[in-house]
Amino acid sequence: MCHDGAALNPFRGRKDAARMSDEDKFLFDTNGFVVVRGVFGADDLRRFHAAIDAHADRIHERKGQLRLTANRTPLSGDGVTGRKDLAGFLGWETPHREPFRDVLTHPRLLPYLHELVGPGYRLDHNPLLILQDPGSEGFEFHGGSTLDSGEWNHPLGYQFNHGKMRCNLLAFAVHLTDVKEGEGGFCVIRGSHKSNYACPAAIKRYERAVEHAHQPAIDAGDVVVFTEATTHGTLPWRGASQRRNVIYRFSPATNAYGRGCALASVARIFHPIPVSNVDRDVRSTDPRRRSLRASQVRRERVAERVSGGHDGRAGAFDTNVNFTHRSLSTFDRVSFQLTDELLAQRSVMNPPYHPRLNRTVVAEDGVRAIEAAPREKHKVDFDRAVFKQDYF
């Protein structure tokens, strides 16, 4: 019997589960974005900024041909100051990586991920920190539901079917600094995620119909949740101090747009922690929980071998590795453990495949990882006989 339904809706019927509010559902479906207020507090923001400042030497400014705008255009700013980019923070040393990793499974943001992308959501792109100094250029409007040819832009698609919204690529803009109305920064054409026509070039360049471009006022700690099907861009920065904004993009369990995140060494980013106190699920008397946790630990060990160790010297994580029964049996002795939180964050980094194939998904508390619908043993045994591996 197929159990797609159970795998795609593991939290169905849970009355205690956090959900998107009716107001946020209406606003997101109408506008293509919603602002989630006060996700991160003052202490969180200090951690973000301390981490960024400690890695300021890794910031790259877009100069010359790397600039995102043409001179003397509405989005070019002062014509000199380029946008600054910084990435790689998920793999920074502790404690600097932790605030960025917390975004992946944050309980305030999980309702939006589960509602708009679905259980088993995955991190699709390498996250990016955007920094704008006063006078910095903006970025031409992009994304959108329709290609320049007029065809549907399905990799970014937004749909509403059978009472559910679904985004093929969902973005979080985590604002680390205040943005007042009229200062610039993130800007969106409301409702464009439902447009059936290509956005004209003059509108993308912010030369015409500018009254339809909305730049929301946002406080530090707020998160803008938007579908990439909504045409959006960045206005030149007119604020008095540097603007900082972290972009994350997520896709459904079976989708992939970006390539960089899938090829990154997962073992290098989420490396195992030596056992200091035995994980409760490995000790559990429940055989399913014990088996799940043990199998995850073994997979982490396999990933470590594939990537060449914790520092990733031998190369990138191979997403095509088959974690077969035979390969896992090599690592039967569990000598490393993952905390619940790390296991949940690690599950977001999995390559695309259906939740029914024993995919671990982030539980609604944002702390645990669970199997949405464990696959029946007789099916796994049959696949081993036919395909010589655990999964078709």
pLDDT per residue over 219-230, tens digit each? Answer: 999 999 999 999
Q: Could you tell me if 161 and 75 lie in one domain?
A: yes
pTM (predicted TM-score): 0.82
Residue 119 domain flag: yes
Task: Please check whether residues 321 and 207 belong to one and the same domain.
Answer: no
Average pLDDT in the chain: 82
Task: Report the domain count for the chain.
Answer: 2
The 10s digit of each residue's pLDDT in 281-296 is 433 444 444 444 555 5
Q: Where are the beta strands (DSSP E) in 37-144?
A: 60-61, 84-86, 122-123, 128-132, 139-142
Q: Is position 301 within any domain? A: yes
In which region does residue 95 sit, left (phi positive, over 0), alpha (psi from -120 to 50) or beta (all else)?
Answer: alpha
Element (H, E) at 248: strand 243-251
Per DSSP, the chain holds a count of helices (H) and strands (E) of: 13, 18
Same domain, 135 and 279: no
From residue 260, how far is each of 124, 257, 285, 349 by CA, in Å?
8, 10, 39, 11
Mean pLDDT of 358-387: 87
Report if residue 9 sits inside a domain. no
- Biggest distance spanned by C-alpha atoms of the chain: 68
| Arithmetic mean of pLDDT, 97-120 | 96
Tokens of residue 310, six digits: 């914790």
Q: Is the pLDDT of residue 85 over 90?
A: yes
Does some domain include residue 11?
A: no
Here the CATH number for the domain that contains residue 125 is 2.60.120.620
Q: Do residue 244 and residue 294 come from a single domain?
A: no
- How far out from the chain centre does Cα 347 lie? 12
Domain holding 206, by residue range, is 16-262
The answer to whether residue 3 is domain-embedded is: no
Mark whether 237 and 282 lie in a shared domain: no
Same domain for 361 and 257, yes or no, is no
Stated length of the chain:
392
- What distance in Å separates the CA atoms of residue 337 and residue 345, rounded to the nearest whole number? 14
The reply to whether 253 and 285 lie within a common domain is no
Whether 239 and 338 map to the same domain: the answer is no
Q: Is 252 a member of any domain?
A: yes
Whether residues 178 and 322 share a domain: the answer is no
Give the model confidence (pLDDT) of 124-173 as tens digits.
999 999 999 999 999 999 999 999 999 999 999 999 999 999 999 999 99
Q: Please report which helix (H) or strand (E) contains residue 384, including its range.
A: helix 377-387
